[in-house]
Structure 1
Amino acid sequence: MTGPLPPQTAADWLVVLLDAPDDAGLAAAFARWHAADPRHADDWAALARTYQVMGMAMPVHEAAWRDASGAGPRPLPPVHAPPPPVHAPPAPLDRPSANRPPAKRPRRRAAALVAMAMAACVAVAILPAQLARWTADHVTGHAETAQVTLPDGSRVRLAPDSAIRVDLTGIGRRVSLIEGRAFFEVTADPARPFQVTAGDVSATVLGTAFEVRRGDDDTRIAVREGRVRVARHGGSSPADAVLQAGDWATLGDTGAPRLGHRAARDIAVWTDGQVIARDRPVAEVVDELRPYLTGLVLVRGDDLARQPLTGVYNLTDPLAALRAIASAQHAHIRQITPWIVVMSKD
Structure 2
Amino acid sequence: MEQIQKKLIDTALHWRAVMDSGDVSKGEQKAFEAWLAADPAHKEAYAQAERFWTGLGAMAHSESAAPISAHQTATEKMTWPHRLAWPLRAIQQLIGARPQATLAGLMASLLIIGTLSVFYLEDAPAPYQHPTERFQTAQGEIRTIQLADGSELTLGAQSRVDLSYDRDQRRANLLSGDAYFKVVPDTERPFLVKAGDMTVRVTGTSFAVRHKPSTTHVAVAEGNVRVSYPLVLRTSKRASTGTASALTPSGLRTSQHLGAGQHVSASRHEGLGRAETINKNMIAAWRTKRLVYFDAPLQEVIEDINRYQDRLVILEDDRLKTLTVSISFDIQDVSGMLTSLSEAFDLRLDSSHPGSIRIRSRD
Specify the TM-score bucket, using the shorter chain as the normaliser. Answer: 0.5 to 0.7
Q: Deviation of residue 303 (structure 1)? A: 5.4
Q: Deviation of residue 329 (structure 1)? A: 2.6
Matched, 1:317 2:314: no
Q: Deviation of residue 344 (structure 1)? A: 2.6
Q: CA RMSD in A?
A: 2.5
Is contact 1:211–1:267 with CA below 8 Å preserved after alignment?
A: yes
Matched, 1:205 2:211: no
1:217 aligned partner: 214
Distance 1:200 1:181 in 2: 16
1:295-321 per-residue CA deviation (whole Å, 9 max, x = no partner) reads 542224455444443332001333333
Distance 1:203 1:320 in 2: 37
2:260 aligned partner: 245
Distance 1:224 1:176 in 2: 20
Is contact 2:208–2:283 with CA below 8 Å preserved after alignment?
A: yes
1:284 aligned partner: 300
Where does 1:9-28 land on structure 2 (aligned, <5 Å)?
Answer: none
1:193-228 per-residue CA deviation (whole Å, 9 max, x = no partner) reads 111112332101122111112211332212122211
Distance 1:248 1:140 in 2: 24
Once superposed, which parts of structure 1, at least 4 consecutive aligned residues long, lie more than 4 Å away?
A: 302-308
Task: Determine helix, strand or coil for the equivalent of 1:286.
Answer: helix
Distance 1:225 1:328 in 2: 35
Is contact 2:137–2:143 with CA below 8 Å preserved after alignment?
A: yes
Task: Determine helix, strand or coil for the equivalent of 1:137.
Answer: strand
Q: Deviation of residue 169 (structure 1)? A: 3.1
Where does 1:146-295 land on structure 2 (aligned, <5 Å)?
Answer: 146-232=143-229, 235=250, 237-253=252-268, 256-259=271-274, 260-295=276-311
1:133-155 per-residue CA deviation (whole Å, 9 max, x = no partner) reads xx752111222221111122211
Distance 1:139 1:284 in 2: 21
Where does 1:15-164 land on structure 2 (aligned, <5 Å)?
Answer: 136-164=133-161
Give the letter aligned to residue 263 of structure 2. Answer: W
Q: Deviation of residue 250 (structure 1)? A: 2.1
1:148-188 per-residue CA deviation (whole Å, 9 max, x = no partner) reads 11122211111111111111233321111122221111111
Distance 1:240 1:277 in 2: 25
Identify unmatched segments of 5+ residues in structure 1: 1-134
Distance 1:272 1:237 in 2: 38
Give the letter aligned to residue 253 of structure 1. Answer: R
1:298 aligned partner: 314
Give the letter aligned to residue 328 of structure 2. Answer: V
Distance 2:353 2:333 in 1: 19
1:327 counterpart (331, 343, 346):
343
Distance 1:241 1:196 in 2: 15
2:74 aligned partner: none
1:312/1:166 CA distance change after superposition, 3 Å: same
Give the letter aligned to residue 187 of structure 2. Answer: P
Q: Which has the larger radius of gyration?
A: 1
Is contact 2:157–2:177 with CA below 8 Å preserved after alignment?
A: yes
Is contact 1:198–1:219 with CA below 8 Å preserved after alignment?
A: yes
Q: Which has the higher contact order (CA 8 A, sep 6+)?
A: 1
Give the letter aligned to residue 261 of structure 2. Answer: G
Instruction: Identify the range of structure 1 (278-287 vs 157-166) with the bigger mean alpha-carbon deviation.
Output: 278-287
Give TM-score, length-normalised by structure 2.
0.53
Alignment: residue pair count: 212
Give percent identity, aligned residues only.
Answer: 27
Is contact 1:292–1:318 with CA below 8 Å preserved after alignment?
A: no
Distance 2:224 2:356 in 1: 42
Distance 1:186 1:144 in 2: 22
